[in-house]
Chains A and B, each alone.
Chain A
Amino acid sequence: MIRPGNIFWIGLALTLGYGLYHLKHEVKALEDELFHLNRQILAEQQAIHVLRAEWSYINQPQRLQSLSQRHLDLQPTRPAQIGTLATLPARPADAPAPAIAASSPAIPAPEAPTLKARVNSNAPAKPPQAAMPQQSAVLAADRRETPGVR
């Protein structure tokens, strides 16, 4: 004497049971994947860490200097080579535009007055602080002075 109601309840129970079972397996698979991803992330972080140490090792100033001496024609910066915009002499107002400006279409003609205005405006002599130290530092660290330069 199986009633339709009973069939409904039994069916519901079976469906739910299967659904739960399936969900559980899916979650388990996802957890496994998460675990492996985390493991992988850790391994990558470890590798990055080792590479950072190696990067620092191959960036020894001593080594960079010998490399630069072997491959580059650079010498340590001398004080006379360091300057700011303000130390540049002002261009005469009625001077003809330099040939390079005239011939190159990339540089518009009114360039000259702007430069003059900047120099004349007596703006505080501000060297490009942000970029300069690093740049010249790398150069300085990488080169040994040749005896003749001193």
Chain B
Amino acid sequence: MATRLSDALRALPARLRLEGTGMQAMETARHRLMVGGVLFTVAFAVVALRVVDVTMLKEGHEPRVASHHRQTGPERDRADIVDRNGELLATSLSTASLYANPKLILDANDAAAKLAKVLAGTTEKDLARRLASDRSFVWVQRNLSPRQQFAVNRLGIPGLFFQRDERRVYPHGALTAHILGFTDIDNRGLAGIEQSYDDRLRQVDNPLQLTIDIRLQHVVRQELTASIEEFRAIGGAALVLDVPTGEVLALVSLPDFDPNAPGAAESDTRFNRITLGTYEPGSTFKIFNTAAALDFGVASLRDGYDASKPIQISRFTISDYKGQKRWLSLPEIIMYSSNIGSARMGIDLGRDRQRQFLSRVGVLKAAPFDLPEVAAPLIPNPWRDINVMTVAFGHGISVTPLNLAVGVTAVVNGGILRPATLVRRPGDVTSPSERVMTQRTSDQMRTLMRLVVERGSGKAANVPGYAVGGKTGTAEKIVKGRYHRDMRISSFVGAFPMHAPRFVIYAMLDEPKGNKATHGYATAGWVVAPLVGRLVNQIAAIYGIPPVDDNAPEFRDQMLINVAVR
């Protein structure tokens, strides 16, 4: 129509000529029409261009709305936890939880009776009480199995509803109980890694990788269990550290519990002996005392101390377990584990230097660790001369096995203290480290620790080809303020291979009892050292470490030590 109208307008002047005001009105109308026409043309052109742009030029991809349906993975509240090889240690599975709206339930008693038959772990009385309450939301049971869910649906009771829920599952059960910890019914971490990395597990979707090796963890737990049974101990613990990185490869504390049902566990099984237990370390502490003496230049490998008779100080007597009753060289003091010699070395070292060195290797404060359950050591206060002497051979001070193992790692790795870690760091990020003793001290300590296993109290830990080194420690437990002669903590801390340590092993038995095979002895050399020997065998097999010839000259020279000088 528009074209025809404009035709008419254009045709007008031919037939009709207007003069004056009439002609002016005609001109105005024409201009206005022109402006309107141009405006419409431009508007339609814009719409047309936009249509072409949207339909043909915009890469032709799907409209954004459709992508709202898409999701990258199953909906989950909590990330998985895997071991260093990617083996799944903890995951969250979707379940259904049953809740009720009591206001919609017609017959609470009848419903309760029916439900109690289907749902294990509920009582009719309790259900009836809850279903009859005047709220509009009550949980009936969380985390139903698909079978239970089906059974509840079949009952057809109105007022019951399901909600998608999640349940934390630990496929390996008790094996990693003390490391992973557990969560509550609402999937909040209550212990272990689940607690300390709660935020990380909730916020980041990809799995949290631990430094634990599940194969090694199993082997360690199995061997420890065997030793506990053999010596009728009430418990035990073991820790394996990777020397170069300070990573924890295995951490076992027995007895343990099933994290899938933490509520059913007795509280003492939840106790992590490695990080929470503080024990008198006994002779294993002589490692630090000797290292301090060597590092401060108080004594050299050629020096020695008189250990011919016990030391009397106030009402205490410091004597040797199997006294040699003579002057002992420093290597002999470690080899025979002489308390008298160590105490004298401690006196020479002095209170301040002893304290300073122990503080440097990190055994005087709680060890920084990835678990929330870490105890602080019990240290003597005030630190008197008598304490200097007893601390020298590991009495009158209590530290956690973690403290001890981390400190020993620093002693054998060349003198660098590195906190132990449970969570795998990306390859290029190394944990902070600091030098706490000279390389020379570390080298000397390695030969001394090798000596203990080669010729001293730790012989049973020796494995030909792997140059195991370490130190035994047996401490009597304190019962009612007195040392109890038949209740001991027997422990061993060692490393291998001693010329270039790769693994630090700590093992401990709580109240072992001697048997025929050990001639009734329950000291560390008899009960724990063999366990460590078995662990070394298994670790070497798992990581495929080829044995070296113990007597090859290059190792012999490195480990050579002059035991007796006089």
Interface residues of A (CB under 8 A from B): 31, 34-35, 38, 42, 45-46, 49-50, 52-57, 59-62, 65, 76-80, 82-84, 87, 125, 127, 129, 132-133, 135-141, 144-145, 150
Tell me the dominant secondary structure on chain A's binding face.
Answer: helix
Q: How far is the CB of B296 from chain A (nearest CB, A)?
A: 38
Q: Find B541's partner among A46, A127, A136 (CB 8 Å cutoff).
A: A136
> Does the CB pair A35–B466 fall under 8 Å?
no
CA gap between A46 and B69 in the complex, in Å: 16
Partner of B540 from A42, A45, A56, A82 at Cβ < 8 Å = A82
Name B residues whose Cβ lies closer than 8 Å to a Cβ of A.
66, 69-71, 73-74, 87-89, 91, 93-94, 169, 171-173, 175, 214-215, 217-219, 222, 463-466, 534, 537-538, 540-547
Interchain CB contact under 8 A, B542 and A53: no
A49 and B69 contact, Cβ closer than 8 Å, known pairs A61-B214, A78-B537, A82-B546: no
Point out the residue from A31, A50, A56, A136 that lies within 8 Å of B542, measured CB to CB: A136
> Could you tell me the distance between the alpha carbons of A82 and B546 in the complex, rounded to whole angstroms?
5
Which residues of chain A are within 8 angstroms of B215 by Cβ–Cβ distance? 61, 137-138, 140-141
Tell me whether A60 and B173 are in contact (CB under 8 A): yes
Seed contacts A59-B87, A136-B543; 11 additional CB < 8 Å A-B pairs: A42-B73, A50-B93, A57-B172, A60-B171, A61-B175, A76-B537, A82-B544, A82-B545, A84-B546, A133-B544, A136-B544
**Contact flag A45-B73 (CB < 8 Å), given A50-B93, A60-B171:** yes
12 A/B residue pairs, CB under 8 Å, sorted by A: A42-B71, A45-B74, A52-B91, A53-B171, A54-B171, A60-B173, A60-B175, A61-B217, A80-B465, A82-B540, A82-B544, A127-B544
Asked if B173 and A150 make an inter-chain contact with CB atoms under 8 angstroms apart, the answer reads no
Residue of B93, B541, B546 touching A53 (CB-CB under 8 A): B93
Given A53-B93, A76-B537, A34-B66 contact (CB < 8 Å): yes
The answer to whether residues A83 and B546 also contact, given A49-B93, A62-B218, A76-B538 and a CB cut-off of 8 A, is: yes
Say how far B342's CB is from chain A's closest CB, in angstroms: 33
- Tell me, in angstroms, the Cα distance from A53 to B214 when the chains sit together: 15
Q: B73, B93, B215, B222 — which one has the most chain A CB atoms within 10 A of its CB?
A: B215
Which B residues are in CB contact (< 8 Å) with A125?
546
Asked whether, in the complex, the Cβ of A133 is within 8 Å of the Cβ of B543, the reply is yes
- CB–CB B172/A60 < 8 A: yes
Closest beta carbon of chain B to A30's beta carbon, Å: 9
A129: B residues at CB distance < 8 A: 544
B residues near A42, Cβ cutoff 8 Å: 71, 73-74
